[in-house]
A and B are shown apart, each in its own frame.
Chain A
Amino acid sequence: MPFVKPDKLGGYDVIVVGSGAAGGQTAYTLAMGGARVLMLEAGRNYVPEQETPMFQTRGEAPLRAASTPDKPFGFHDATIDGGWQVPGEPYVNTTEEDSGRFDWWRARMLGGRTNHWGRYSFRNGPYDFKPYTRDGLGFDWPITYGELAPYYDKVEMLIGVYGDNDGLENTPNSSAGCLLPPPKPRASDLLIAQRSKQLGIPVVAGHRAVLTQKLDDRTIPAKLHPGNPSAQKILAEHMRGRAACFWATPCGRGCSIRATYQSTTVHLPPALATGKLDILVNAMVREVTLDKSGHASGVAYVDKTTGKSHEAKARAVVLGASSCETVRILLNSKNPQFPQGLANSSGKLGRYLMDTVGSSVDGQIPLLEDLPPHNEDGASGGHMYAPWWLYKEQLAGKLGFARGYHIEFGGGRGMPSTGTVAGIEWLTGGSYGRKFKEDARRYYGSFVWFDGRGEMIPNEGSYCEIDPKVKDRWGIPVLRFRWQWSEHETRQAAHMQRTFGEIIAAMGGRMKDPIITDGSKAIAPGGSIIHEVGGAIMGSDRTKSVTNRWGQAWDVPNLFITDGAVFASNADKNPTLTIMALAWRAADHILDRMTRKEL
């Protein structure tokens, strides 16, 4: 205990597949609530306190930490055995065209992608759960914002999220005491905010899962675990073990002082401390197994250290393996009773995959040149952002696309990389020698970037299925993807480009290349924003959805999904916070049903 081997498994109430935002939150809630949990993770164990490259400069890494196929987000990125390709674990695209391709980022490590994620933590708003009701497109969720709001509160208090309550349309406030104070804006933030305001674009404090101060271990545990003194005590101790941000080293490397949310530093340590959680790493789940009554009996998996197949058993099974991996497991769980894959009587399994619409513009701002040197590392990610601001114009049909986007942006005097003083001839006219060194001093810190992050409406042309031929190194059939954007997305991407060009112009800035007016060229390929959700959407009609309002499979009563696969829409808000809120809610539901002996 608590890291176990295949031959040393105990008896379990619940099997949780995956250890990231979904698996971590599910296991946390279940174990704190007294359930005996076995977590299976396909990657290796990972210990942020020991492995995180804090303070390493890029000059200390191979190739100055530049991106390579082995480490696509740079050498120090907290992704292990992952990236756009995982060795020995291929996937298939029916076309390599940008417009029809889906790129799938995976990580094979304890904590999954929560170790490196951007930490942006936004709540979906009331419109986001009822998009069909609002504009007739896509699907309504079977839940309302009001039903999920208490769980957003809980997750924010548990993981620690900075931000302000701005009271903006469809951008919900948190309950009092949930949010930590936001960090002070950087120089570029203040300039972007000032000039965006002239264009009618609101710029407010960002929301990210970084501790700007220590969590309040005296009051939060009782709010999160009322009537459960043991859970309160464990959580309080772990909250004391998390330091506040010391304003250095990029969050994407992970955080050894536990100042950001990672499943490995926030969810798993207290869950393990209950003694109720066992974790089995290097366990690649192949399928969900069934008993004679059609209930899930457990999972079949490959121990990657030996290549041998095993089974694990429990009263209930929860899939939190990431949207596409969860779908893959279910599609591969075929048997005579479920020839199209498990939980697929609707035929909707693998359907309605969504990513976030992404488009970016960079600018150079003469006003930011030659600023007095000062430390702008801050919380490493965005201190501010612009929530979507054109709800009324959009509903009135004035924009030509149905859903909104928010703007993430940044700039300033970040830690030098190979890109810091690269490709600046368009500004310098090709200088070298003493002049080049002067130019480097002048232009360093004068660049800003804007990333649009927008809602994609689910469509029939974006899906995954099992490839009939290709298998991974464990002999498990792999996914094949097909992707399609609608004009709602491509026009939105073109709008992002125009908007960012206008903001840069309002800042007196310039761009190396003109903005892209053709939205189909401006939009990033499917999957590349790494916000993939859907594939097993929740709904209120079992013929049109895979799970009910609790993430419970319509076809298998003791099988639940708590990752992004259940999303019925993909609002512009980054999905991780909503995944955790849904997972906490589903786990509470599982605990209730177990108490009532219904599971």
Chain B
Amino acid sequence: MSEPTRVDRRTAIKWVAMASTLPWLQRPAIGTAAPAARKGYGTDPKLNRVYKPGELWPLTLPPFMRQAAAALCDTIIPADEHSPSASSVGVVDFIDEWISAPYEAQRADRKTILEGLGWLEIESKTRFKQFFVDLTPAQKAAICDDICYLPRAKPEFQEGAKFFATFRDLTAGGFYTTPAGSKDIRYVGNVALERFDGPPPEVLRKLGLTVPPQ
């Protein structure tokens, strides 16, 4: 396994300057992100243990892109009074695991995510002379508002909107499967119970249903 090529800030600046002159599909990848792993976990992995991203195949998101990914994760799922931000509970590692995986669907998402993060940096630099991570919340929102909903995105933001939809789904998928995310949406299962009582009376009342006979 090879280390992902380090992309420092200076390299990133040069890449943005060069890539911003090219159409979306002709832009080279930033740095040379290591190819995603070839071998999956196979058809008989051990099921009853805990796995961590990076354990089964190497993570390959270049460090500079991790910053952009973390900033975008936390723009989509920021900390609030209910739960912490997405990046603080390992969602960037999950997205990195996902785009580094050897399976076809994940490889397709890898292309979307790497190209999309590159676009995000170019857009940030072009509009605000800063990388995405360094933008103010209002500046981040200005970009995200243009790409957050594909059906209403202008033609020049269609590709960005497809990227954002994928990235938002991955961020949410990573976040709500953590203990903090599950708690946030108030999932209270996965515990052994003596009895299963069905919905409590207040739920039935809210639904306009009568309490079933016991």
Chain A interface residues toward B at CB < 8 A: 44, 51-66, 68-71, 75-76, 78, 80-83, 86-87, 183-187, 190-191, 194, 245-249, 253, 367-368, 371-379, 413-423, 425, 429-434, 436-437, 440-441, 444-445
Nearest CB of chain A from residue B207's CB, rounded to whole Å: 6
B 162-189 to A, binary, CB cutoff 8 A, 1 in contact else 0: 0001001110111011110110111111
Interface residue from A57, A185, A429 paired with B182 (Cβ < 8 Å): A57
Nearest 8 pairs between A and B by C-beta? Answer: A430-B149, A184-B198, A418-B173, A373-B186, A377-B189, A59-B177, A246-B192, A430-B148
Q: Report the interface size class on chain B.
A: 35 or more
Q: Are B179 and A59 in contact (CB under 8 A)?
A: yes
Q: Which residue in chain A gives the minimum CB-CB distance to B149?
A: A430
Q: Is the CB of B44 within 8 A of A417?
A: no
Contact B198 A422 (CB under 8 A): no
**Chain A residue with Cβ nearest B194:** A246
Q: Which of B61-69, B73-81, B111-119, B121-129 contacts A (4 or more CB under 8 A)?
A: B73-81
Contact yes or no, A441 B176, CB < 8 A:
no
Q: Which of B1-9, B10-18, B26-34, B47-55 contacts A (4 or more CB under 8 A)?
A: B47-55
B47 and A53 form a contact (CB under 8 A)? yes
Task: Given A68-B103, A184-B196, A376-B189, verify A421-B172 contact (CB < 8 Å).
Answer: yes
Question: Assuming the A-B contacts A57-B182, A68-B103, A437-B80, are A52 and B47 also in contact, with contact meaning beta carbons closer than 8 angstroms in the complex?
Answer: yes
The smallest beta-carbon distance between B208 and chain A, in angstroms, is 8
Q: Report whether B47 and A413 are in contact in the complex, using a CB–CB cutoff of 8 Å.
A: no
Complex: chain B residue closest to A365, CB-CB: B207
Q: A249-B190, A416-B181 are in contact. Are A64 and B173 (CB under 8 A)?
A: yes
Judge whether A80 and B43 touch: CB under 8 Å.
yes
Question: How far is it, in angstroms, between the C-alpha of A427 and the C-alpha of B119 when the chains are bound?
Answer: 27
- Is there contact, CB below 8 Å, between B97 and A63? yes
User: Of B40, B48, B152, B177, which is within 8 A of A417 by CB?
Assistant: B177
Instruction: Tell me which residues across on chain A come within 8 A of B207, comparing CB atoms.
Output: 187, 190-191, 367-368, 371
A185-B198, A430-B148 known, 13 other contacts, Cβ within 8 Å = A52-B47, A62-B45, A70-B103, A86-B43, A187-B203, A372-B206, A373-B188, A413-B187, A420-B172, A436-B168, A440-B185, A441-B185, A444-B176
Residues in B neighbouring A372, C-beta threshold 8 A:
200, 202-203, 206
Q: Which residue of B lies closest to A370 (CB)?
A: B206
Given the complex of chains A and B, what is the CA–CA distance between A64 and B171 in angstroms? 12
Q: How far is the CB of A151 from chain B (nearest CB, A)?
A: 30
A190 and B209 in contact, given A57-B177, A421-B172, A431-B148 (Cβ under 8 angstroms): yes
B23 at the interface (CB under 8 A from A): no
Q: How distant is the Cα of A76 from the Cα of B49 in the complex, in angstroms?
A: 10
How far is B46's CA from A78's CA once the two chains are assembled, in angstroms?
Answer: 11
Kindly name the residue among A86, A418, A430 whose own CB sees the greatest number of chain B CB atoms within 10 A: A430
CB distance from A342 to the nearest CB of B (A): 31
Are B40 and A70 in touch, CB under 8 angstroms? Answer: yes
Cβ of B196 and Cβ of A379 under 8 Å apart?
yes
What is the CB-to-nearest-CB distance from B129 to chain A, in angstroms, rounded to a whole number? 23
Beta-carbon contact of A436 and B97 below 8 Å? no
> In the complex the two chains form, is A422's CB within 8 Å of B56's CB?
no
Q: Can you name the residue of chain A whose Cβ is closest to the Cβ of B197?
A: A184
B83 located at the interface, meaning its Cβ lies under 8 Å from any Cβ of chain A in the complex: yes
Contact of A432 among B47, B106, B168, B206 (CB under 8 A): B168
Q: Which chain A residues border B108 with CB–CB below 8 Å?
A: none
A253: B residues at CB distance < 8 A:
47
Chain A's nearest CB lies how many Å from the CB of B73? 10
